Structure 1
């Protein structure tokens, strides 16, 4: 893959957001490629514990019916970066279609990338398809969060339409290593489903690494960090590609607090 050029995008249109982080001879991380089209805006590069931190903003006010938004993030060998969103993403009410969000993440040897967006908020009737596709190369480390919550701005209990979400992890050769996928129908799973009770917020954290000992330590750390959550679980991913935690909470504030503990726990295990 040529890091200096945008990807073939898996057959999709050119991504609206395309960022590549590279390591300078001094050891600092900088943005070697930055393309941000509507609806995205990229703030200035910040420093984050020796790496780079970027906050992505949206000028559209959220995701609307028939939106198809694609983001592509690359960390070149040795780069260390963290990408966040400025606020939660509202998925607005819809009458017929859906909104599609695609995120491609490609992290190379010795690089680290944290993709930590705020939750997506599903309004009544909203239908969202969310695909996060990760390429994990040897020696790379990646944190990926995906979080969703539902809300009726009218103060009622109207349900969202549907949520079709997947996180797929592949190696550098394109072989599928792990996939977490779920589909929720708002009419039957309102607000976001549950086992013993209804939960309004749903989130996950993948910590990807090919180091088996590191993955085992992360899984233990995630389990301890989430043990006080309303409903959560943590463990190892298949094909020795890392660890994973899934969290259900009664509200977004509780979800964010638990997820923050999980992220901190993982960071304490991973090398800086």
Structure 2
């Protein structure tokens, strides 16, 4: 497979962020392709875990968030044997809107025996904000992907004005393009206050997918996720359909509490995974 061009069927047209991680003969992971256009900026390559083999990148945005009619795309691939982690420098503000939507599209791929972590901070929906979010994950044999996706809402004027709408979806496919699992939800701000729609104590909503085709690893991930969030606010973990891993869902009173719960879950999964 060529890694110097965006694969066919990626669902993205010239994404503003395009990263490819490759494993060197030494075992270290490096960026073999890096293209970051507005609004994205990629900091220098860091090492994760002190091993010198895992690459860590922090993505920054110079736009101040997502605005009405924005259409942003990100594409990240870890080639065979690579070990990489992509994070964001801060939460993404989805600003107030008068009519349209902001659109975010992400495609991540972990090839054979690769490890790829996609761990952005939450998206914060301001009053009237409308966001569609699509994440497509491609999982090859022996690979593992940690995929976090979380949202909260905020009214700076404290007038109780809700966000507009949130339409979020995650699709997981194998290397042949076969759909293994899909998570999809749509929320209307006026009827879903607080975000998550369970009770007034929950204002933040997030999920963590541990994507793997190894059933034993998936079962171990469920156990570690349950243990890590046993005293979390409102959380549950289970196996994903299609034999593609485990899934944790968390509702929390605020974004800080949500982030703390997800961080604990991520650390727990890493402790039982190779």
Band the TM-score falls in, shorter-chain normalisation: over 0.9
**In 2: Cα distance, 1:241 partner to 1:223 partner:** 18
Kept in 2: contact 1:9–1:15 (CA 8 A): no
Q: What TM-score do the two structures reach when normalised by structure 2?
A: 0.97
Matched, 1:64 2:43: no
Matched, 1:42 2:42: yes
Change (3 A) 1:22 1:178: same
**In 2: Cα distance, 1:51 partner to 1:191 partner:** 38
SS in 1 for 2:134: strand
Change (3 A) 1:89 1:196: closer
Partner of 2:206: 203
Kept in 2: contact 1:194–1:248 (CA 8 A): no
How far 1:9 moved relative to its partner? 5.5
After superposition, the C-alpha distances for 1:204-235 in whole angstroms (9 at most, x for unaligned) are 00001111111101001101111211111101
SS in 2 for 1:195: coil
How far 1:198 moved relative to its partner? 4.8
Matched, 1:264 2:267: yes
1:1-272 superposed matches below 5 A: 1-8=1-8, 10-49=10-49, 50-271=53-274
Change (3 A) 1:165 1:186: same
Kept in 2: contact 1:229–1:258 (CA 8 A): yes
**In 2: Cα distance, 1:133 partner to 1:116 partner:** 14
**In 2: Cα distance, 1:82 partner to 1:136 partner:** 16
The answer for unaligned runs of 5 or more in structure 2 is: none
**In 1: Cα distance, 2:251 partner to 2:2 partner:** 39
**In 1: Cα distance, 2:3 partner to 2:98 partner:** 40
Change (3 A) 1:118 1:32: same
**In 2: Cα distance, 1:19 partner to 1:64 partner:** 24
RMSD: 1.1
**In 2: Cα distance, 1:132 partner to 1:186 partner:** 21
Change (3 A) 1:120 1:171: same
Q: How many residues align?
A: 271
Kept in 1: contact 2:194–2:200 (CA 8 A): no
Stretches of 4+ moved more than 4 A in 1? Answer: none
Kept in 1: contact 2:10–2:107 (CA 8 A): no
After superposition, the C-alpha distances for 1:106-140 in whole angstroms (9 at most, x for unaligned) are 11001000000000000000000000100000010
**In 1: Cα distance, 2:13 partner to 2:216 partner:** 39
